[in-house]
Structure 1
């Protein structure tokens, strides 16, 4: 289980999530993504990052089983801080970040891709934020970067998912390709970006972040406050226990 980085042609960093069976990340995994993004941004020769995953799906969010087998609130606080750090590091990475999404992208996975600069998806990819079903809140900030407001609200309340192909008309997913072509399609866009002057790319990333209408870091942190309230009230524990007892394979 790991977050690994491979450097391609001295210009492209490929960060891979590999946490079988469903890439539901433990606390350490979220911080490892943050570290990988921070490190990529510090390397002056790098011009773009590709965030991808091995296995059945891109990301199933937080490892709820880790949270439920940990006494006290250490795992909860760790997951909240880790997600915040990972999302923030992607958004603030000094070079563009491309998400290459396969299969499911749920909960915290939406937080990751919502802060990326470009999204390429496989034809089996779908997105959703089932936090309401888990007694938690979060990632509406990032879902709202993928779909319009009213659709975001409906998806949030109902925990519905949306296929990658349906996001192309919204402009949030650049293209959808067969699963076998996902890596090559993502690399093609990465190489197109990597051909640019790295000084201009870094200035462009800072400029685009500077004109964003919503401060995604503060917005997400605000959401997390309601998650803590639900946990203190015992509501979130009830839903997480039910999820673990159900034996489902996907965590969010």
Structure 2
């Protein structure tokens, strides 16, 4: 349980690839410490001069279910501040990783999961993968910045307001998912792309990552931080608690 980093295999086929795996049962809804651990793992992997590509993956039922709502409800405002900072650091770590990041997504990718994959350089997904921001149903806001990197603007707004999800196939049609494969082939497909990337010159890859980030039309760090201000406003006004209480009564626990 937690966040771990490994190499897919020894020898030339796995050279230059670091696999960061998230495992927080039962649904990968991360506590505050989990977001910081993920940020540290991605940054550490990217700083390693021997790394040329990072694969971000998850164990269990789904890729990511967002933040641990139970922790938010138990700890109150202090947890919200921690979650805001932790998510900010984790999303930024993926975006700012010195080498390309390939996200390997299976099952559900919700809330904070969108923040991670929306900042990844490429996404490989299993056929059963679904993506969405159920924030309005859970008394939260945020990550519209990252959903807007996956779908067109009006679709992003409709998905955000309705809390609906989209499939991997739909995102593939929009060009934001590189490849959709059966779940049992996900790891191999993600590593295949990672190996193709890692075959390039490592120093040039790092320059390419910095150059591509530099021409992005939206500053994702500033944009997401702006959104977080409204998340905090929803919390201090009592709106967030009212919605979360309703969500909890309907059977939800993590988000």
| Structure 2 length-normalised TM | 0.96
Distance 1:243 1:134 in 2: 6
1:133 Cα shift?
1.1
Task: Please list the CA deviations of residues 124-172 of structure 1 after superposition, one character each: whole Å capped at 9, or x if unmatched.
Answer: 0010001111121100000000000000000000001000101112110
1:240 Cα shift?
1.5
Distance 1:7 1:244 in 2: 39
The question of whether the paired residues in 2 share the 8 Å contact of 1:100 and 1:121 is answered with yes
Distance 1:212 1:181 in 2: 32
The question of whether the paired residues in 1 share the 8 Å contact of 2:122 and 2:177 is answered with yes
Distance 1:55 1:161 in 2: 20
Whether 1:93 aligns to 2:97 is yes
The residue that corresponds to 1:7 in the other structure is: 7
Whether 1:161 aligns to 2:165 is yes
The residue that corresponds to 1:66 in the other structure is: 71
1:243 Cα shift?
2.1
Unpaired runs of 5+ in structure 1? none
Q: Secondary structure at the match of 2:6?
A: strand
Distance 2:40 2:190 in 1: 22
1:247 Cα shift?
2.5
Whether 1:116 aligns to 2:107 is no
The question of whether the paired residues in 2 share the 8 Å contact of 1:65 and 1:244 is answered with no
| Structure 1 length-normalised TM | 0.97
1:10 Cα shift?
4.0
The question of whether the paired residues in 2 share the 8 Å contact of 1:27 and 1:79 is answered with yes
Distance 2:72 2:252 in 1: 15
The question of whether the paired residues in 2 share the 8 Å contact of 1:47 and 1:194 is answered with yes
The residue that corresponds to 1:225 in the other structure is: 229
The residue that corresponds to 1:238 in the other structure is: 242
The question of whether the paired residues in 1 share the 8 Å contact of 2:103 and 2:117 is answered with yes
Distance 2:251 2:26 in 1: 13
Q: Secondary structure at the match of 1:90?
A: helix
Any residues of structure 2 matched to 1:199-214 within 5 Å, and which?
199-214=203-218
The question of whether the paired residues in 2 share the 8 Å contact of 1:64 and 1:244 is answered with no
Whether 1:144 aligns to 2:148 is yes
1:241 Cα shift?
2.0
Unpaired runs of 5+ in structure 2? 9-13
The residue that corresponds to 1:75 in the other structure is: 79
Distance 1:65 1:240 in 2: 10
1:76 Cα shift?
0.6
1:69 Cα shift?
1.2
1:37 Cα shift?
1.1
Distance 1:42 1:161 in 2: 34
Give the one of 32, 35, 53 matched to 1:30. 35
Q: Secondary structure at the match of 2:104?
A: strand
